[in-house]
Amino acid sequence: MSRKASNFQKVVMSWGYRGKEIFKPLNTGWIDDNVACVREWIANIFFYTKNGTTIMIDAGYNYERLAEKMKWLDIEPSSIKDILITHQDTDHVGAVERDSDGLFRNAKLYISEIENRYMTGEKHRKVIFGLYKLPMVKSDNERKLLKDGDVFYIKDIKVEVILVPGHTWGHMVYLIDDSYLFTGDTIWFGADGGYSFINALAEDNEVSKKSLAKLEKLLRDRGISPKVITGHTGWSDDLDFVFAHRDQVCNSMKRQKPHDPNAPYDGYDEREDTEEKARTERLKKAVPVSDRIQSAYHDSKNIYDDVLTQGSFLSRQYIRFFWSGTDDNEIARKVLSYVPDDFSGTLLDVPVGTAVFTEKKWRDLSDAQITCLDYSVDMLEQAKRRLEDCKHISFVQGDVGKLPLADGSQDIVMSMNGFHAFPDKYKAFKETFRVLKKGGRFIACFYIKGKCGRTDWLVKNILSRKGWFTPPFPTEEQLLRILHKLYSEVEYHVDGSMVYFMGKK
């Protein structure tokens, strides 16, 4: 069954999930000195090595290039005597099914006693919200049946078994040497953290969410933070990231939000998976979208300043064409006019970027106390170089979703062309409201969905490919709903592809 099912998935799932940012497999390579990974299209299988013993976690598809890629890692198939199976789906057991190439015919399979019922025909695996029944998996390998809480050793490798039903009824995760947690299809990493795995493929999504909560409690109660390694979306050792959305399920029916600029358009396209990379590059962990902003805007001064705001005549005409006629400099002047020329209170500029729009105004407000904040260290350093001689200005690296400022400490919060880049916009708005004094003003401009025209195309098709972080723009309706909920007075204008406004607390 596995060869037919593997080829079927390669065609149908490649087409069905293309562009949705669902599958984000690691390429073949090493996570660290103990854990190696092989990429099989959208899936990963793993090898754990300690003191000369190598065990395998999941057996992947019935995949023609498995032996070849194992050679990239200098692992011989014949050396694998023990395989831990998280669950019996085709992309996790294909290489040990009867119609496989038999690379591991002498290996012992470790599988939960509940999951084994799928392999004996006592239970039938259902997917697509229970509408489709998968064929029975058949394997002649020796099996050791496990139950929740079992602890055993393979040579001196400690393995603890944790039952996490939901994706399948007998799905297991394996905690190895208290340092590595192999989770199969229990957790899906989005751009903003972990969710319960894909909704359409689960036996019961509510049970899946309960299993995630149980798993998190177990790890936190013990005070351990292992490397959490997923079957399709990479790894992380940040438990806050891993369990960020444990009460939510990945919805495979739509493109994922927030946007992940590193997600492949088609997970079955393996052109980036090469032997050279497998031998020379370590596999990076999954990080929150806010961390990606750091690298996305790294050394971006030439793009951000020279092209968007201060470039040559030709480059400005190019940007003005794509930006649907919006002139960022003109918008900046309109927005900054909301700040009185004799202002002498406290003001937060977030995100300050390189301060290219605000430098002159902030210099002139010498009696004010101005805080310039940005998540990107690189952008903040560029702003600091511009304004380092201004004693009334301080510079803070921080996250708009958790501003490092006291409640009611600011007379004005200014956001110049930045709020469209925050993944959780409502949280960002609430934070600006929190730090404002009673009667204080929130002043901002940014792009909005539905008004962007060519801007939206430019961002998605050019800037995203350059690594710039570009989450979805808010709609005008979403923006007004938030503003009117938080602020008592709102002055609001649409200009080309942008809005600019002032809200009074």
User: In what order do the strands lie in the sheet containing 245-249?
Assistant: 187-190, 193-196, 245-249
Q: Which amino acid is at 436?
A: L
Q: Residue 43: which of 169, 176, 201, 159 has the closest Cα?
A: 201
Distance CA 380, CA 372 (A): 8
Nearest to 27 by CA among 293, 296, 280, 243: 280
Q: Between the CA of residue 137 and those of 89, 202, 224, what are the distances in Å?
A: 8, 17, 35
Residue 478: predicted pLDDT = 81
- The amino acid at residue 164 is V
pLDDT of residue 165: 97
Going by C-alpha positions, the residue among 133, 59, 145, 144 that lies closest to residue 97 is 59
Helices and strands, number each (H, E), in the chain: 16, 25
Q: How far, CA to CA in Å, does 147 sit from each of 156, 177, 215?
A: 21, 18, 15
Do the beta carbons of residue 46 and residue 25 sit within 8 Å?
Answer: no
- Do 2-264 and 296-504 agree at the fold level? no
In sequence order, the β-bridge partners of residue 444 are: 415, 501
pLDDT at 88 over 50: yes
Report pLDDT digits (tens) over 249-294: 999 888 887 777 778 989 899 999 999 999 999 999 998 765 555 5
The residue ranges of every structural domain in the chain are 2-264, 296-504
Query: Given pLDDT bands bounded at 50, 70 and 90, which one contains residue 321?
Result: very low
Taking only the tens place, the pLDDT of each residue in 231-255 is 999 999 999 999 999 999 999 888 8
What is the rounded distance in angstroms from the CA atom of residue 392 to the CA atom of residue 247?
45
Confidence of residue 175 (pLDDT cuts 50, 70, 90): very high
Q: What is the tens place of the pLDDT at every residue in 382-396?
A: 899 999 999 999 999
Q: How far apart are the two ends of the chain, measured CA to CA in Å?
A: 64
3-class DSSP state for residue 433?
helix
Taking residues 37-60, report their average pLDDT: 97
- Whether the predicted pLDDT of 310 surpasses 60: no
- Kindly report which listed range (11-15, 76-80, 103-107, 457-461) carries the lowest average pLDDT score: 457-461
Angle between helix 425-435 and 476-486 (nearest 10): 30
Written as six digits, the tokens of 215 are 């798993």
By C-alpha distance, which of 275, 342, 339, 293 is closest to 467? 293
Q: How far apart are CA 487 and CA 440, in angstroms?
A: 10
Helix-strand-coil split of the chain, %, nearest 5: 30, 25, 45
Can you tell me the distance from the alpha carbon of 54 to that of 144, in angstroms, rounded to the nearest whole number? 18
Residue 7 confidence (pLDDT):
76
**Average per-residue pLDDT in the chain?**
86
The CATH code of the domain at 296-504 is 3.40.50.150
333 vs 56, more confident: 56
79-93, 201-215, 473-487: which has the minimum mean pLDDT? 473-487
The torsion region of residue 44 among left (phi > 0), alpha (psi -120 to 50) and beta comes to beta
Instruction: List the 172-176 sheet strands across, edge first.
Output: 151-154, 157-163, 172-176, 180-182, 227-229, 235-236
Identify the band that residue 431 occupies on the pLDDT scale cut at 50, 70 and 90: very high
Q: 3-state class of 467 per DSSP?
A: coil
Residue type, 24: K
Our CA angle for 416, 419, 425, nearest 5°, is 155
DSSP-based three-state secondary structure for 278: helix
CATH number corresponding to 2-264 = 3.60.15.10
Q: For residue 34, is pLDDT > 60?
A: yes
CB-count burial class (<10 Å; 0-12, 13-18, 19+) for 488: exposed
